[in-house]
Amino acid sequence: MSIVRLFEDYGVPHVLHGEHQHATRGWINVHCPFCGPANYHMGISEDGTACHCWRCGSRPRIEVFSALLNLPISETREILREYAAAPLSPVRKNAEAKIRVRPFRFPQPSGALDTLHQDYLHRRGFDPERLERKWGLLGTGPVSFLDKISYAHRIIAPIRWKGEIVSFQARDITNRSRTKYLACPAEREIVHHKDILYGKPEFWESAEALIIVEGITDVWRLGSIALATFGIEFKTEQALEIARIGDKRFFIIYDNEPQAQEQARKLAVKLRALGRKAYLHTVDSDPGDLSPADARYLVKEINRNLPIGV
Give strand pairing partners of 279: 251
Q: Does residue 88 register a pLDDT over 50?
A: no
Across the range 83-103, mean pLDDT stands at 49
CA pair distance 146, 36, nearest whole angstrom: 27
Task: Using a pLDDT cut of 90, give the percent of the chain over it.
Answer: 57
Tell which wins on pLDDT, 171 or 12.
171
Helix axes 236-244, 258-273, angle to 10 degrees: 50
130 CB-contact burial (10 Å; exposed 0-12 / middle 13-18 / buried 19+): exposed
Domains of the chain from N-terminus onward: 3-92 (3.90.580), 115-193 (3.90.980.10), 198-303 (3.40.1360.10)
In this prediction, residue 304 carries a pLDDT of: 77
CA angle, residues 147, 115, 296, in degrees to nearest 5: 95
Q: Taking the model in full, what pTM does it have?
A: 0.69
Q: What tens digit of pLDDT does each residue of 183-233 get? A: 999 889 999 999 999 999 999 989 999 999 999 999 999 999 999 999 988
Q: Do residues 164 and 145 lie in contact, with contact meaning Cβ atoms separated by under 8 Å?
A: no
Q: Please report how many Cα atoms fall inside a 13 Å half-sphere around the Cα of residue 28, on the Cβ side.
A: 19
Q: What tens digit of pLDDT does each residue of 243-298 get? A: 999 999 999 999 988 889 999 999 999 999 999 999 999 898 789 999 999 999 99
Q: What is the 8-class DSSP label of residue 86?
A: P
**Helix or strand holding residue 218 (H, E):** helix 216-222
In this prediction, residue 86 carries a pLDDT of: 40
Confidence of residue 45 (pLDDT cuts 50, 70, 90): confident
In this prediction, residue 159 carries a pLDDT of: 98
Confidence of residue 306 (pLDDT cuts 50, 70, 90): low
CA pair distance 216, 198, nearest whole angstrom: 7
In this prediction, residue 100 carries a pLDDT of: 52
Q: Which DSSP string do the residues of 141-166 spell out, in sequence order?
A: -S--EETTEE--SEEEEEEEETTEEE
Q: Does residue 126 register a pLDDT over 90?
A: yes
Characterize the bridge pairing of strands 42-45 and 138-139: unpaired
Q: Cα-flanking dihedrals φ and ψ of residue 99, to 5°? A: -115, 125
